[in-house]
Structure formats: structure tokens, C-alpha cells
Chains A and B, each alone.
Chain A
Amino acid sequence: MKQALVDDTEDVSLDFGNEEEELAFRKARIRHPLATFFHLFFRVSAIVTYVCCDWFSKSFVGCFVAVLLLLSFDFWSVKNVTGRLLVGLRWWNQIDEDGKSHWIFEARKASPGGAAATEAEARIFWLGLVICPVIWVLFFFSTLFSLKLKWLALVIAGISLQAANLYGYVLCKMGGEGDISKVTASLLSQTVFQTGLTFLTGNRCKSHHSEEREGRNNPPCHDRAQSGAENRNLLSPRSQFLRLSLES
């Protein structure tokens, strides 16, 4: 109670200079540059280190530890920071009084005045999240077939760490929706389609995700990948706060 009283009587600073800042913040295509950078930095440098370690040092152990460290930092930052900031999703495990463990997946309701994610950030997030585990799976097969088996432990560690995040966030995105393959397919094709379209035509079309001020004068996208009203996109302004809970 006392805490609430203290909060009520705290001075609210009237800071007129902040308004311009707010406006610039909202107009920015990437609102969390640091988070976006680190989301990609750790994953890509883990892959680069694994591929190029023969050039830097002959030490197996040094390379192993370096890649493992980068993968761990990446796991922690994607799970705890960038998912929350870039796409408003989070997932964790909770053990209740009886000792039963629950996996909780949450998607944040997009508030109109808040720091909602931009389309560019979401796209970077999902592309980074999906492409890197695929690359590690490729490494797995190349290690297996070239019989460099001592690297297999590292590759398996890489796959499990990256796939864990991918799986967690896909389940968050699924929310209350039933079919994971449908959601994944629609999400991937939508991202690829829009990226390709932007790249080819050089202009932006307004989609479900983009906010009003970004695509005001642009023609609407023909999202063939989506199926109209069935696609409850969790980032759209009318989405509900969705929580999915799994017991294990």
C-alpha cells in the first residue's frame, strides 16, 4: 500500500522536449537498434567462428569454447531480450507448488501508444531465428559425412540451443491457433514474399502488419499467402493478449 501511495505522489515531469523524441521514435523503422544488432550478431558470429576457426587458431578447444560461448550468449539474449523487444513474445517454464512443470508462451497485446514492434524488426527477427538453425543442421550433415566427428558435439549443442528458441517462439506465435504447420507456412511465405516484393519493386505496400503512418499512400499488398480473416496475427492492433500453456 505504501508503495502505491509513494507512486501516486511522485512528481510527473512536464517535459515538452520529449514529444519530438517520441515522434521520432515512432517514425523509426527500427526502434530497438541495439536489440536488433545483438539478435543477429551472436548467431552470425557463432556460425562465422565455426566456419573460419581453422584460419584463426589451430586449437580445437579454443574454437569449441568460443563458439559455445557465442551460442550461449545468443540463446540468452534471444530468449530474454530480443524476443520481448522485437516481437513482443516470450516463453518460460514455471514449476508450481505440486512440482508440476508448465511451459508458458505469451504474446503481448499491441498497445496503440506503446513501443510496438515495427515490421522491419519483426522480419529481421524471424529471418534470423529460422535461417540459423537450418545452417546448423547443414553443418551437422557436413560434419557427419566428412567424418570430423569431434565437432559433432558442438554442432549438436548449436542445433539444440537454436532450435529451442525457434520452437519456443513459434509456439508463442501460434498462441491459440491450432495448426503449427499452417502458421509456419503462412509466416514464412509472407515474410519471403514481402521481402522479395520490396526488393524487386523498390516500393512498399501496406500490409496487415505495417502501421498507419508507414504505408499511408502505398497500395495494399495482395497477401496470397494469408487467408483473410482466419489469420489472427498477433501483432496487429486488434489482437488479443494470448497465452498458451503446456504441461509437461
Chain B
Amino acid sequence: MAEAAESPGDRETASPRPLMRDLKAVGKKFMHVLYPRKSNTLLRDWDLWGPLILCVTLALMLQRSSLDSEKDGGPQFAEVFVIVWFGAVTITLNSKLLGGNISFFQSLCVLGYCILPLTVAMVVCRLVLLAEPGPINFIVRLFVVAVMFVWSIVASTAFLADSQPPNRKALAVYPVFLFYFVISWMILTFTPQ
């Protein structure tokens, strides 16, 4: 994970400073995703803690509570994990093969952090599902997921598009579109029983 060089002192102790600095860096990146601007923070100072937290949160929320104790949300949990990480790795490989000048972990970092809007959509959907089921319920969820989906795409292309040669931008963005579409689909079609 990226960290600025710090000079070790003579009598060092395990200072909490690196932990707080890492946590603050993760929080700052979350803010950058929510308000996407042209900035280099996500790219320069990458880390994979944010994507891990988001992936685990999303996977936990996408569990179905089932009466059958054998299938206690097991497959769904590992499925989400595999889809997110394998999908992100595939997109990264694709963009590298297309000649992008972004490093492997930077790309994983951006794709992972831009799942944040969809995670927010998941939280909202779960709250909405506590209310009465019906068409209105579905329309509200559809609207929320669609808005967050567009937000994710905009945030990730704001960071990733610059690293591609100009005639390849669409080719590089299309898998990102697919990736977030699959996640949005999982969120939209989720029902708790």
C-alpha cells in the first residue's frame, strides 16, 4: 500500500500515527468518490483497504436470510466477493492490454472505491424493503440504483479515462459499465427471503 517515506527514529515504538494516517487516507478517498473532481488523490496515493471494506459490507448486505442452515447465505457471500475482485482484476488487465498507463493496483483502487455509491444504494434499498412490497417499492429502488449506478460510472471514468489513449477510451470504459451494471443488478434483484 502506498505510504510516504517516514524516517525511523532510534527508539521506535509502534506508533498509532500510521494507523490514523491510513484511516484518514481511506476516508479522504471516500469523499473524493462522493464528490468526483479531477484530482489525483485516488491515483497517486492508492490503497486497497477501502475496496475491501466496501466489498465485505456489500457482501454482508446481499445475504439472504434463509431457514435452511446449510445454505446460510454462504454462496451469495462468496459470489459477491468473487464477482467484485475478479471483475476488477479483469477490467484492469483489459485496460493494461489496451495500452493504458495506469498501474495494476491504482486501477483496482479506483474501481473498488467507486463501488461506494452502489453500497449506499444497497443500504437505501434494504431500508426501502422494510416497507410494504409492491410496484412503488420497486420503482423507488430502481430509481435509487439507477442514480447510484450513473454516479459510480461517472466517478470511475473521471479517474480512469485519462490514462487511456484517446481512441481507446470507449473500449476501456465499456467493461467498467458492465461491471457496475452486474453489481447494480444484484442489488436491484435482491429480496430478503
What is A's interface to B at a CB cutoff of 8 Å? 32, 34-35, 58-61, 64-65, 68, 72, 76, 79-81, 84-85, 88, 90, 92-95, 99, 101, 104, 108, 111, 113-115, 150, 153-154, 248
B74 touching A61, Cβ below 8 Å: yes
B171 to chain A, nearest CB (A): 20
CA distance A86 to B8 in the complex (A): 12
A99 touching B104, Cβ below 8 Å: no
Subset of 20 A-B contacts with CB under 8 Å: A58-B72, A60-B77, A65-B56, A76-B19, A76-B22, A85-B12, A92-B2, A93-B1, A93-B46, A93-B105, A94-B2, A95-B43, A101-B105, A104-B5, A108-B8, A111-B10, A115-B10, A115-B11, A154-B78, A248-B103
B23 to chain A, nearest CB (A): 11
By Cβ-Cβ distance, the 4 closest A-B pairs, closest first, are A60-B74, A101-B103, A114-B10, A81-B14
- B55-93 contacts to A (CB < 8 Å): 56, 60, 63, 69, 72-75, 77-78, 81-82
B106 touching A115, Cβ below 8 Å: no
B57 to chain A, nearest CB (A): 10
With a CB–CB cut-off of 8 A, which chain B residues contact A108? Answer: 8
B105 touching A99, Cβ below 8 Å: no
B55 (CB) vs chain A CBs: closest residue: A68
B1-23 near A? 1/0 per residue, CB < 8 Å: 11101001011101000110010
Known contacts A80-B18, A99-B101, A93 near B74 by CB under 8 Å: no
A58 touching B1, Cβ below 8 Å: no
B93 to chain A, nearest CB (A): 14
Say if the beta carbon of B44 comes within 8 Å of chain A.
yes
A150 touching B106, Cβ below 8 Å: no
Known contacts A60-B72, A61-B77, A113 near B18 by CB under 8 Å: no
B56 touching A59, Cβ below 8 Å: no
B72 touching A115, Cβ below 8 Å: no
CA distance A19 to B102 in the complex (A): 52
